[in-house]
Structure 1
Amino acid sequence: MLVFEYKAYGKSNQFNAVEEAIRTVQFIRNKAIRLWMDGGAKSCYDLNKYCAVLAKEFSFASQLNSMARQAAAERAWASIQRFYDNCKGKIAGKKGFPQFQKDNRSVEYKTSGWALSDDRKSITFTDRKGIGKLKLKGTRDLNFYQLCQIKRVRLVKRADGYYVQFCISVDRTEILPATGNTIGLDVGLASFYTDSNGLEVENPKFYRAGEIKMKRAQRLVSRKVKGSNNRIKSRIELGRIHLKISRQRKDHAVKLARCVVQSNDLIAYEDLRVRNMVKNHCLAKSISDAGWYQFRVWLETFGRIFGRITVAVNPAYTSQECSSCGVIVKKSLSTRTHSCQCGCELGRDHNAALNILTKAIGTAGHVGTSILDIGIAQGDSSSTVTGANL
């Protein structure tokens, strides 16, 4: 599945209609959650039927496309199903009980309620919300895909405007020649990661860099009167700063992950539980700013696309164990150099990266000169956990 995003351009009354559609989606989703809480829905099918009842009862709900109403109900059922799965799986802590939505920012259409122009540079929404024709501006060309391949169309509100997303059903695979290289990655805060070759990639720290502007914008929001137009403008400006930081972090993760995957046949990394790590209030901001999990997600995504092996390794003792002789050398977080009695002296992160690669190779077996010999060149199972037999 590919997701193409385009900036939408239109008149103010059109964007007011988009806002109304988004509020309607939020209303339907919350009504569906309430129906489930009252015991009136046992499946997603029950919620879909309830959409027709809401359309008859409320005129503003009937103005929204029927498939868009069903998509809103499916969002509600997704949160309910996730809660059920967490309960059955006995997930520790909170199970994620479905909550009422307060600030919805998107509306999703399926295969009806919209029509693309012949040149694919504009889209017209045909339901009775009155959105009409919106111009599209983006770098991706939709002419390469058939209309039947577009399964979902989303209208998304962000701090800097409105966007249209197209969910295209297509399998993206690219076969690259084998490089014969393997690499282990140890992520950190001093440097974004240190690989098994000793290379350190600088941590960009986008949040820290934009923190001064962010604090100033937050003060301006606090000074304005609640409900005033000036407060709304200040909130939009604060949202733009946060949006820029998130885009910078994503761009960094995508480009770095793509470079790593294309340059190596096997990529090993730590199977970190970032959700648990951010409970340390002293390091939570720095860990969140680094974006380790987002980097891992893109490593696995590009691993499937380019047919590379990505292995998640248990991080236990990777920093303490000597990469040369295997002896455990205890060290605190402040100790940045690994020094062993066998004479091995390396940087702490470099030593950890070597251990991660060693564990991954022990899990995946011998990596030859061709990934095709391993039988997963198409990326059917590009991410594995420690102990799996490849």
Structure 2
Amino acid sequence: MKKTYKVRKEAYEKEQRKITCFEQINSLPDKKETNPFLSQVFSQILQDIVRRVHKNFQAFFRRLKDATTKAGYPRFKQFGRYDSFTYPQHGFKLEKSQVKLSNIGWVNVRKHRELPQQEQIKTCSILVKNGKYYACFSCEVEPQLLPKTNKKVGVDMGLTSLLATSDGKLYQAPKTYRKSEKELAKAGRKVSRRVKKSKRRKKSVRILAVKHEKVANQRKDLAHKLSRELVKNYDLIAHEKLQVKNMVKNRHLAKSINDAGRNLFLTILTYKVEETGKRVVEVEPKNTSQICNQCGEKRKEKLKLSQRVFKCSRCDYKDNRDINAARNILKRAEGLGTSLQGAVPIGVV
């Protein structure tokens, strides 16, 4: 990995030349003769490492052409930061509660779920995280279509409530990070007191990482459950096109926004929609919480974030501001010409 990265780095810095992925893959047999260690690694794993480096440099060159983004030169992953390797085509075999890995042997596994037939499994990645090893399989399967409900819903993501739907349901934000903040801070102070490179520091770092992983897993678990509920009950789901990167620039709200895991929820929701044959639509978020969903009247005075109830001065409509916003989101989706049978792609505004 280091030499693959170094060759590309030197070629770019000294000669301003791009080395192709195939050049480096074709050079692997020669490198195996000079480096016996490489012979102990399965050939396709080495090829996948080259492809990873190639993708990173391709992304770097693409960012260089884009003046609006920071290029960010690819960083070499040191021993402690390189945490996975992949069998991209073959070299692995799954049987009952064991997986056979080429050049490693049979390893016992505990399955998260039943997997399809061996021929449907395309790749196998071995990942180590906080001292635990995971085998991740990517499979080619047919989409599992859910029965149609002929229902559609608008969804608004807030801060006090994680989710509000146009049906009037409110899902409170769990605030997983804020609840664990003191415990995380205490574990972080222990790490800072330990001598660098000592065994006690490594142990403290592991404990801190496990605590952070627990918070992330709690957030991910809720996102999976909520997205599954929405996909199961509705054929069309409309939500705002959020720019979370810009939203977290507000230092007063950044922690709450990140704690809610908006991007995570929308990512999970999108792929579940694609798997099940349902549809999701993005709409423009401007003034969704400032307009009455009943009469369309816009408030003269802007509703502050601290004001959680929307009241219309024209028709006296009164409701939770997030529910009002969710209903406006659904109306905007309907105004785009979306229907339960339509062919509007994901991300239409």
- How does the TM-score come out when normalised to structure 1? 0.81
Confirm whether residue 384 of structure 1 aligns to residue 343 of structure 2: no
Aligned to 2:320: 347
Aligned to 2:12: 37
**Aligned counterpart for 2:329 among listed residues 356, 359, 365:** 356
Q: SS at 1:69's partner residue? A: helix
Letter of the 1:107 partner, please give it.
Answer: F
On the 8 A contact 1:29/1:75 being kept in 2, the answer is no
Matched ranges for 1:89-104 at <5 A: 90=66, 92-102=68-78, 103-104=81-82
Give the 3 Å change call, closer, same or farther, for CA 36–136 of structure 1 in structure 2.
Answer: farther
CA distance in 1, matches of 2:195, 2:180: 25
Aligned to 2:42: 65
Letter of the 1:73 partner, please give it.
Answer: V
CA distance in 1, matches of 2:151, 2:210: 41
For residues 58-109 of structure 1, what are the alpha-carbon distances to aligned partners after superposition, in whole Å with 9 as ceiling and x for unaligned?
3323321111011111111112222334445x36231343222231111112
Confirm whether residue 365 of structure 1 aligns to residue 338 of structure 2: yes
Aligned to 1:332: 304
Letter of the 2:313 partner, please give it.
Answer: Q
Give the 3 Å change call, closer, same or farther, for CA 36–123 of structure 1 in structure 2.
Answer: farther
For residues 226-259 of structure 1, what are the alpha-carbon distances to aligned partners after superposition, in whole Å with 9 as ceiling and x for unaligned?
1111111111111111111111111110111010
On the 8 A contact 2:2/2:76 being kept in 1, the answer is no
Letter of the 1:169 partner, please give it.
Answer: E
- How does the TM-score come out when normalised to structure 2? 0.90
For residues 302-330 of structure 1, what are the alpha-carbon distances to aligned partners after superposition, in whole Å with 9 as ceiling and x for unaligned?
11122111001111121222222223212
For residues 110-140 of structure 1, what are the alpha-carbon distances to aligned partners after superposition, in whole Å with 9 as ceiling and x for unaligned?
2343344xx332123332xxx3331111232
Superposition deviation, residue 182 in structure 1? 1.4
CA distance in 1, matches of 2:96, 2:240: 43
Confirm whether residue 27 of structure 1 aligns to residue 5 of structure 2: no
On the 8 A contact 1:33/1:100 being kept in 2, the answer is no
Aligned to 2:124: 153
CA distance in 2, matches of 1:337, 1:278: 24
On the 8 A contact 1:185/1:269 being kept in 2, the answer is yes
For residues 325-365 of structure 1, what are the alpha-carbon distances to aligned partners after superposition, in whole Å with 9 as ceiling and x for unaligned?
22321222222222222122222211211111111111143
Aligned to 2:99: 123
For residues 115-172 of structure 1, what are the alpha-carbon distances to aligned partners after superposition, in whole Å with 9 as ceiling and x for unaligned?
44xx332123332xxx333111123223x312x322221111111411111122223x
Give the 3 Å change call, closer, same or farther, for CA 192–135 of structure 1 in structure 2.
Answer: same
Q: SS at 2:134's partner residue? A: strand
Aligned to 2:200: 230
Give the 3 Å change call, closer, same or farther, for CA 332–85 of structure 1 in structure 2.
Answer: same
**Aligned counterpart for 2:293 among listed residues 303, 323, 329:** 323
On the 8 A contact 2:21/2:54 being kept in 1, the answer is yes
CA distance in 2, matches of 1:33, 1:216: 42
On the 8 A contact 1:160/1:240 being kept in 2, the answer is no
Give the 3 Å change call, closer, same or farther, for CA 29–163 of structure 1 in structure 2.
Answer: farther
Q: SS at 1:385's partner residue? A: coil
Superposition deviation, residue 53 in structure 1? 4.6
Give the 3 Å change call, closer, same or farther, for CA 163–36 of structure 1 in structure 2.
Answer: farther
Q: SS at 2:336's partner residue? A: helix
Letter of the 1:331 partner, please give it.
Answer: L
Superposition deviation, residue 28 in structure 1? 5.1
On the 8 A contact 2:63/2:69 being kept in 1, the answer is no
For residues 242-299 of structure 1, what are the alpha-carbon distances to aligned partners after superposition, in whole Å with 9 as ceiling and x for unaligned?
1111111111101110101110111101111112222222222211111111111111
Give the 3 Å change call, closer, same or farther, for CA 366–33 of structure 1 in structure 2.
Answer: same
State the aligned residue count: 342
What's the RMSD between the two structures over aligned residues?
A: 2.2
**After the TM superposition, which of the residue ranges 259-268 and 224-233 deviates more from structure 2?**
224-233
Give the 3 Å change call, closer, same or farther, for CA 374–366 of structure 1 in structure 2.
Answer: closer
On the 8 A contact 1:206/1:248 being kept in 2, the answer is yes
Confirm whether residue 374 of structure 1 aligns to residue 342 of structure 2: yes
Superposition deviation, residue 366 in structure 1? 3.9
Letter of the 1:192 partner, please give it.
Answer: L
On the 8 A contact 2:86/2:124 being kept in 1, the answer is yes
Aligned sequence identity (%): 34
Aligned to 2:211: 241
**Aligned counterpart for 1:82 among listed residues 36, 44, 59:** 59
> Which 5+ residue runs of structure 2 have no aligned equivalent?
none
Aligned to 1:111: 89
Q: SS at 2:220's partner residue? A: helix
Superposition deviation, residue 217 in structure 1? 1.4
Aligned to 1:162: 133
On the 8 A contact 1:28/1:69 being kept in 2, the answer is no
On the 8 A contact 2:155/2:166 being kept in 1, the answer is yes
Matched ranges for 1:281-300 at <5 A: 281-300=251-270
**After the TM superposition, which of the residue ranges 205-214 and 187-196 deviates more from structure 2?**
205-214
On the 8 A contact 1:182/1:264 being kept in 2, the answer is yes
Letter of the 2:319 partner, please give it.
Answer: L
Give the 3 Å change call, closer, same or farther, for CA 259–269 of structure 1 in structure 2.
Answer: same
Give the 3 Å change call, closer, same or farther, for CA 91–52 of structure 1 in structure 2.
Answer: farther
On the 8 A contact 1:28/1:51 being kept in 2, the answer is no
Q: SS at 1:175's partner residue? A: coil
